[in-house]
Structure 1
Amino acid sequence: MTTATDLMIVTMDVRSARPAEPGDLSLALAGAEAIDLIGAEVLTLRGDHLLPGLQPALGDGLLDEAASSLVRQEPYESIEDWLWRRGRGLSRAYLAALEKDGGITTRRRGWNPLRTTEPALVDSPARSHAADRWHAGDPVLAALAAAVGITDQPAADSLDAVSDPVVTVLAAVNDAVMELEAVRQRQAVENAAFDNVWRGE
């Protein structure tokens, strides 16, 4: 199982005050992929740029896709650029992969048959793996979950045993999520101002 798949499952399985925004989740999933590619020695970091290495088969379709999409010409790609490019629509891709693998089903919301359906996790090895990792307090998974707002930020010292490249990726994920939230807030203000103009306020 990959960190991105575990993160996707955790965001669906853990009770939270608010669900993860799809855009935030997509950025975090791209970060999770980068972290797993670092762990598999498919890429390394030079400063904040991703240096691709060998491209072995990783046994996961989406992670193999991520590896094959790495920029292989200098000056290579920054972590920030990777998150925005690779992250585009990535939460939908992981949701579709879980459904294809039988990890989720769809159920109707409420009693009204006209209401839309929502995805629901089923008991599966993937769900058990993610739950075990979550309850064990995996610091990387906890930091990614905190970035998308489904839990509080872990203690600073929880990442002491995590490698510097992984910490760099986690910091980039947090920065990207905050940037996206700032964009959403600006759009909300602009939309409110536009509505006020039409109402003559």
Structure 2
Amino acid sequence: MSTAKDLFIIAVDQEPDRPVGQGDLSLALAGAELIDLLGAEAAALDGDRIVPGAETEPHDPLLVEAAATLARQVPYERVEDWLWRRGRDLAATYQAALEEAGQLTRGRRGLLPFGNDRLEPADTPVRRRAHGRWEEGEPVLAALGSAVGIGDAGAEAGTGAEDRSEPGLPDEAVTTVLAVVNDAVTELAAVQQRRSIENAAFANLWRVP
């Protein structure tokens, strides 16, 4: 299993009153994919740009797909730009893949945080592995969870842009990706808030006095 799939399972397993936004999760999933590609040496960072690495093919089909999207000509793509591009509707992609693989089932516990179907992670070794990483406070998964507002474990990982030296994280490249994920989620929240204000103002124009 990939870090992105583990993150998705943890997100889906949240209580209905603590939903994870689809946009936030999509950005974090893209960050998780990039971190796994860095770990597999399928990519590297040169500053804030993603440099394609060795022609190693990850075992996970979605990671293979992610690797195929990397820009392979100079100038290479910035981490932020890749997160926004790869992250578009990525949560829905993971939902479909996990449901097809039997990792998500129709359940009674509650709604999927960003959908209308009643889905929950099946009780499988995959789910237990994801929760094992989460309960152990595995730094990368905790940091990604913190970025999308899941639990308190991520707070210990120090993933914000203000803290780039957390010893629990594997290396500087991973820390950079996590910081960019946090920045992107913050930017998305600002855009959503601005749109909400604009929509409310527009609606007020049409109200009958």
TM-score, normalising length: structure 1? 0.91
Amino acid of the structure 2 residue aligned with 1:66: A
CA deviation map 1:129-178 (0-9, x unaligned): 10110111101111101111122342238931321000000000000000
Deviations for 1:92-117, whole angstroms, at most 9, x for unmatched residues?
A: 1111111111011124688xxxxx53
Q: Residue in 2 aligned with 1:198?
A: 206
Gaps of 5+ in 2: 111-115
1:185 is matched with which residue? 193
Tell me the distance in 2 between the aligned counterparts of 1:67 and 1:117.
30
Task: Give the aligned residue type for 2:167.
Answer: D
Task: Quote the Cα distance in structure 2 between the aligned partners of 1:109 and 1:33.
Answer: 28
User: For 2:181 and 2:32, how far apart are their aligned partners in 1?
Assistant: 9
Give the match's secondary structure for 2:155.
Answer: coil
**1:170 equivalent in structure 2:** 178
Alignment of 1:118-197 (within 5 A): 118-152=118-152, 153-155=154-156, 156=158, 159-162=166-169, 163-197=171-205
* SS across alignment from 1:117: coil
Structure 1 residues 85, 122: CA separation in 2 closer, same or farther (over 3 Å shift)?
same
- Give me the CA root mean square deviation: 1.9
Contact 1:55 1:68 in 2 (8 A): no
Q: Is the 8 A contact 1:6 1:130 kept in 2?
A: yes
Tell me how far 1:16 sits from its aligned partner: 7.2
SS in structure 2 at match of 1:44: strand
Q: Which runs of 5+ in 1 are unaligned?
A: 111-115
Query: For 1:51, what is the secondary structure of its paired residue?
Result: strand
Find the aligned partners of 1:10 and 1:185 in 2 and give their Cα distance.
26
Question: How far, CA to CA, are the matches of 1:117 and 1:161 in structure 2?
Answer: 37
Amino acid at match of 1:48: D
When structure 1 is superposed on structure 2, of 71-80 and 11-20 the one drifting more is 11-20
SS at match of 1:195: helix
CA contact (8 A) 2:42 2:57 kept: no
1:26 is matched with which residue?
26
- Is this contact kept in 2: 1:105–1:120, CA < 8 A? yes
Larger RCO (alpha carbons 8 Å, 6+ apart): 1
Report 1:45-64 matches (<5 A): 45-64=45-64
1:181: how far off? 0.3
Measured after TM superposition, the shift of residue 17 of structure 1 is 4.9
Residue 54 of structure 1 deviates from its aligned partner by 1.6
TM-score by length of 2: 0.88
Alpha-carbon distance in 2 for matches of 1:74, 1:52: 10
The worse-fitting range, judged by mean Cα deviation, of 150-159 and 119-128 is 150-159
